[in-house]
Chains A and B, each alone.
Chain A
Amino acid sequence: MNGTRPGWLALRQGQAVDVSSIPLVDADDFASHMLAGRGRGGRLANLFGRRLPDGGVRLFAFLAFDTDARIEVCAADLPHGKLTYPSVTAHWPAAQAFERELAEQYGVFPVGHAWLKPLRYHGTDDGSAAPWGPFEASEPIPGNYPFYRVEGEEVHEVAVGPVHAGIIEPGHFRFQCHGEEVLHLEVVLGYQHRGIERLLLHPNATRSAIVAETIAGDATVGHALAYCTALEALAGARVSLRASALRGIALELERLANHVGDLGALCTDVAFLPASAYLGRLRGEYLNLTLEICGNRFGRNLLRPGGVRFDISTTMADSMRERLRRLERETLEVLDLMFSQSSVLARFEGTGKLSEERADEIGMVGPAARACGLRRDVRCDHPHGVFQFSHIPIAVETTGDVYARAAVRWLEVQRSLEFLVELLGNKPEGPVFEPIGRLRPNAMALGMAETWRGESMHVAFTDEAGKLAFLKVKDPSIHNWFGLALALRGVAISDFPVCNKSFNLSYAGHDL
Chain B
Amino acid sequence: MIKTGIYGLLRVLSWLPPLPRTCALVMVAFGVVSGVLGVLYALAQHDLKRLLAYHSVENIGIIGMGIGMGMLGGALGKPALVALGYGGALLHVLNHALFKGLLFLSAGAVIQATGTGEIDRLGGLARKTPVNAAFFLLAAISICGLPPLNGFVGEWIVYGALFEGTRSVPRLSAGVSALGVVSLALMGGLALACFVKVFGVVFLGKERTGTRVARATPGAMRAGMGVLAVLCVAIGVLPGLIVPLTGAGVQVIADLGPMEFERALPSVLAPAGRLSLLAMVFFGLIATLAVVRRGLIQKNAVALPSPVATWGCGYAAATPRMQYTASSFAWSLLSSFRALLCPERRLHAPAAVFSEAAHLESHTVDMAEQDLFAPLFRAASRVSRMIQTLSWTGEPAMERRSARASERLRPFVAVVVGATAAVRRGSIHVYVAFIAFTLLVVFAIEVWVAPGAEGHSAPISVMQGAPQ
Contacts and interface: CB of A to CB of B under 8 A. Distances in A.
A93 B354 contact: yes
B312 A159 contact: yes
Contacts of A358: 353
B322 A143 contact: no
A28 interface: no
A150 B358 contact: yes
A93 B354 CA distance: 8
Nearest to A148: B355
A140 B313 CA distance: 13
Interface stretch (A76-84, A161-169, A400-408): A161-169
Interface string A325-362: 00000000000000000000000000000000010011
Given A93-B354, A154-B362, A489-B350, A161 B314 contact: yes
Contacts of A96: 354
A160 B328 contact: no
A155 interface: yes
A114 to B, nearest CB: 4
Contacts of B345: 178
Nearest to B358: A150
A184 interface: yes
B278 interface: no
Interface string A175-195: 011111101100000000000
A156 B360 contact: no
B114 to A, nearest CB: 14
Given A153-B118, A179-B328, A490 B360 contact: no
Interface string B347-383: 1011101110111111000000000000000000000
A172 interface: yes
Nearest to B331: A179
B447 to A, nearest CB: 55
B360 A179 contact: no
B322 A157 contact: yes
Interface residues of B, number: 37
Interface centre among B118, B312, B314, B351 (most CB of A within 10 A): B314
A400 to B, nearest CB: 15
Interface string B214-226: 0000000000000
Contacts of B332: 179-180
Nearest to A160: B313
A152 B325 CA distance: 11
B337 to A, nearest CB: 13
Interface centre among B120, B317, B324, B361 (most CB of A within 10 A): B317
Contacts of A486: 353
Contact of A159 (B120, B315, B361): B315
A315 B355 CA distance: 58
B358 A151 contact: yes
Contacts of B389: none
B331 A178 contact: yes
Contacts of B325: 153-156
A157 B321 contact: yes
Contact of A154 (B313, B314, B328, B350): B328
Interface centre among A114, A154, A161, A162 (most CB of B within 10 A): A154
A353 B191 CA distance: 37
B315 A162 contact: yes
A489 B358 CA distance: 13
A132 interface: no
Nearest to B361: A152
Contacts of B361: 152-154
Nearest to A158: B322
B321 A183 contact: no
A489 B323 contact: no
A274 B35 CA distance: 46
Interface of A: 93, 96, 114-115, 140, 143-144, 148, 150-164, 170, 172, 176-181, 183-184, 358, 361-362, 486, 489-490
Interface of B: 46, 118, 120-121, 312-319, 321-328, 331-332, 335, 345, 347, 349-351, 353-355, 357-362
Given A155-B328, A177-B328, 14 more contacts: A140-B317, A148-B355, A152-B360, A153-B327, A153-B361, A154-B46, A156-B324, A159-B313, A163-B314, A176-B358, A178-B347, A181-B331, A183-B349, A486-B353
28 contacts: A93-B354, A115-B354, A148-B350, A148-B355, A150-B349, A150-B350, A151-B358, A151-B359, A153-B121, A153-B325, A154-B46, A154-B120, A154-B326, A154-B327, A154-B361, A156-B325, A157-B321, A161-B314, A162-B315, A178-B328, A179-B327, A179-B332, A179-B335, A181-B331, A183-B358, A358-B353, A361-B353, A489-B351
